[in-house]
Amino acid sequence: MEQLEITLKVARPKALATMIRLTRDFDLAEEAVQESLVRALPHWRQHGIPDNAVAWLVQTARHYVHDRQRHQRMVERHHHALQQTQLGADATTNPEQHDHAHLSDDMLRLIFTCFHPALAPEAQIALTLKTIAGLDSIAIARAFLLTPKTLDQRVTRAKRRIRDCGIAYQVPDTRELPERLDAVLRVIYLIYNQSYTVASGPDLLDVPLGETAIALTRLLCRLLPGHTEPLALLALLLMQHARADARTDADGLPIPLEQQDRRLWQRALINEGKVLIEKCFRQQPQAGPYLLQAAIAAIHNRAATPEDTDWPQIVQLYTLLEQRTDNPVITLNRAIALARADGPNAGLALLNTLADHPAMQRFQYFHTSKAALLEENGNPAEALQTWEYALTLCQNQAEQRYICKRIDLLQARTSQ
């Protein structure tokens, strides 16, 4: 992805958040920002990327809205003078006046608006992933096992409810924050997971999207300094993001954790995450889900080699995590850790307890994990069948190529 595309991807949600604040209209804001993106591509290629890309997009989008409003007034034959809206009045504002703090406030306003209690939980997540993360309907629908049409209907209903109910575009006061915080943290983690492994497309990672999730979490930490869970989520994201440079090879194929070049891991992020984990445990000895996951990631990151990894401790932490969450993916992760601690037989035995779980049957990583353990356990025929089934579930092209490579290697070994 070229630098111009990366800049646009990072700037888009920030510009959209500001335009939603200015217009109080999701659809109009999205239309205006899309138009500004279209205009930015040729202009920036010719003249270079501006110092303040977000402000450039906001200013262009404001001009678009102002021109559209003016045209609408002409069409409606309004001959009397209309009071110019604030949006039109300051459409020529110097872009440099839109500082980063102001744009950060807009991002927070948008995410808390998306998570207003008046909206259904499914609509909250869908609207946030579409506006903040900029994910398309196909990617979001796949994550929730919906059709794109159903997903779009949820988003449309959510926008209409925000408009019809006059939901305030603001960060709620301290009394309202706790009831929305868990949902906000959950969707930020969803956004990061989408960046960690993109649902579809040629690339495994979307680093700018991951950085957006981390930036949002930092904002929450500043907004809620007394709350542990935002700090724990930030620690988790930093620990995972630290490995980004080592997660793909020269061809863009995934590199499993145990095969990664640990010299490429970003020690500054790991050290920051370590400090946050220690702070969280001091504030809240009874660790929540994000803190437990951060602690697991920290164990991986402190191991100088794969053999140095403290797998028994990771198994214990996953056991605690299972007790506090009803999530079969946690059991899957514990099975992988158990296989490293006690051998592939132990891991496969635990995986088999999930075999009839409907979600696991559709979950690609259940089958890739099982296939890898079957290979280790000396069962190449069943491993090959499992890899092939996992390939039918995979939508990411980099992962498809990786699975095909594993299948080819396995076939070559079994034919000898």
60 and 157 in a common domain: no
189 and 161 in a common domain: yes
196 and 109 in a common domain: yes
Residue 201 domain-assigned?
Answer: yes
pLDDT tens figures, 262-287: 999 999 999 999 999 999 999 887 88
369-378 as b/e: b if 16+ CB within 10 A: bbbbbbbebe
| DSSP string computed for 137-150 | HHHHHHHTT--HHH
pLDDT tens figures, 67-113: 777 756 554 544 443 344 344 444 333 443 444 444 456 777 777 78
Closest CA to 169 of 204, 138, 143, 131: 131
| DSSP string computed for 145-183 | T--HHHHHHHHHHHHHHHHHTT---SPPPTTTHHHHHHH
| DSSP string computed for 58-90 | HHHHHHHHHHHHHHHHHHTT--SPPPPPHHHHT
Residue 41 domain-assigned?
Answer: yes
Instruction: Provide the residue count of the chain.
Output: 416
126 and 37 in a common domain: no
pLDDT value for 145:
59
171 and 85 in a common domain: no
133 and 60 in a common domain: no
Q: In this model, does residue 337 exceed pLDDT 50?
A: yes
107 and 172 in a common domain: yes
Domain boundary among 92, 115, 133: 92
Average pLDDT over every residue of 202-207: 88
70 and 12 in a common domain: yes
pLDDT tens figures, 219-257: 888 877 888 999 999 999 999 999 999 999 999 999 999
| pLDDT confidence bin for 345, thresholds 50/70/90 | very high
Which amino acid makes up residue 260? Answer: Q
Identify the residue with better confidence: 414 or 318.
318
Domain boundary among 186, 210, 225: 225
Query: Do residues 114 and 183 make contact, with C-beta atoms less than 8 angstroms apart?
Result: no
221 and 113 in a common domain: yes
pLDDT value for 92:
38
- Number of domains composing the chain: 2
pLDDT value for 314:
98
87 and 40 in a common domain: yes
Residue 361 domain-assigned?
Answer: no
Instruction: Give the tokens for residue 177.
Output: 């924050």
> In terms of residue numbers, what domain contains 202?
100-225
80 and 16 in a common domain: yes
pLDDT value for 89:
40
Residues 6+ apart with CB under 8 A from 300: 239, 257, 309, 314
pLDDT tens figures, 139-149: 677 666 567 88
Average pLDDT over every residue of 105-131: 79
Average pLDDT over every residue of 307-333: 95
pLDDT value for 99:
42
Percent of the chain whose predicted confidence (pLDDT) is above 90: 43
Residue 279 domain-assigned?
Answer: no
Residue 165 domain-assigned?
Answer: yes
Residue 196 domain-assigned?
Answer: yes
pLDDT value for 13:
82
137 and 180 in a common domain: yes
Query: Do residues 166 and 116 make contact, with C-beta atoms less than 8 angstroms apart?
Result: no
Query: Do residues 277 and 298 make contact, with C-beta atoms less than 8 angstroms apart?
Result: yes
Domain boundary among 205, 225, 245: 225
Residue 239 domain-assigned?
Answer: no
Residue 56 domain-assigned?
Answer: yes
Which amino acid makes up residue 150? Answer: T
pTM over 0.85: no
pLDDT value for 93:
39
